[in-house]
Amino acid sequence: MIVGAIIIVSIGLLGLTPKTFFGTELVWPYAGLIAAIGWGRSGLAFRPMVLLVLVGVAQDVSAYAPLGCFGFINLSAFGISAMISRAFDRERSPLITTVAPLFIYAAAFGLIWLFASFNSNHVVQLSPLINAFVVTYILHILIAPVFDLGRRIGPLVGSMT
């Protein structure tokens, strides 16, 4: 989990630098979402939630968003990922590993679009968010195994089976 946190912070700090390449603005991924979905595959836990809220506050400050927006989005993605993993991903199947994040990212980027539109009092363009969606998913493919905490999802403790 520490390695994942270091990766998130590194990507976030690099995202604060100017991101132009030969006059073209580069799209930067949402590392907090990658961590939320990756950590969510291992089930619900308190420590990842605390880190996702802290990362969310940093994202709020750097994006000039109202405090709590990105924390809510990160926790929502974490919860959806944990729910899907618990329901469908008992064997860690490649199909669920590939398809489920697409739907979770779509829901998370939908929330980002809604919060941005409400905050700016007009409908925000979708094209920058779609570009960030694609870049975030590509980075997810590359670094998602780092965020897998490796716990198998089993029955709830104390539940009657």
pLDDT at 26 (0 to 100): 76
DSSP state of 124: P
- Residue pLDDT, tens place only, 122-150: 999 999 899 999 999 999 999 988 887 77
- Residue pLDDT, tens place only, 60-103: 998 888 999 999 999 999 999 999 988 886 677 778 888 899 99
User: Quick one: what percent of the chain has pLDDT higher than 90?
Assistant: 50
Q: Where are the beta strands (DSSP E) in the chain?
A: 20-21, 24-25
At residue 156, does pLDDT exceed 60?
A: no
Q: What is the mean pLDDT of residues 7-21?
A: 82
19 vs 21: CA distance, rounded Å: 7
Residue type, 15: G
Domain positions in the chain: 2-17+27-147
Q: What is the mean pLDDT of residues 18-35?
A: 81
pLDDT at 44 (0 to 100): 86
Sequence-distant (≥ 6) Cβ neighbours of residue 95 within 8 angstroms: none
If one compares 14 and 161, the residue with the highest pLDDT of the two is 14
CB-based contact 32:139 (threshold 8 Å): no
pLDDT at 158 (0 to 100): 47
Residue entry with tokens 């969310």: 56
Q: pTM of the entire structure?
A: 0.86
Residue entry with tokens 């949402």: 30
pLDDT at 51 (0 to 100): 94
pLDDT at 154 (0 to 100): 55
Residue type, 120: S
> DSSP string spanning 32-56?
HHHHHHHHHTT---HHHHHHHHHHH
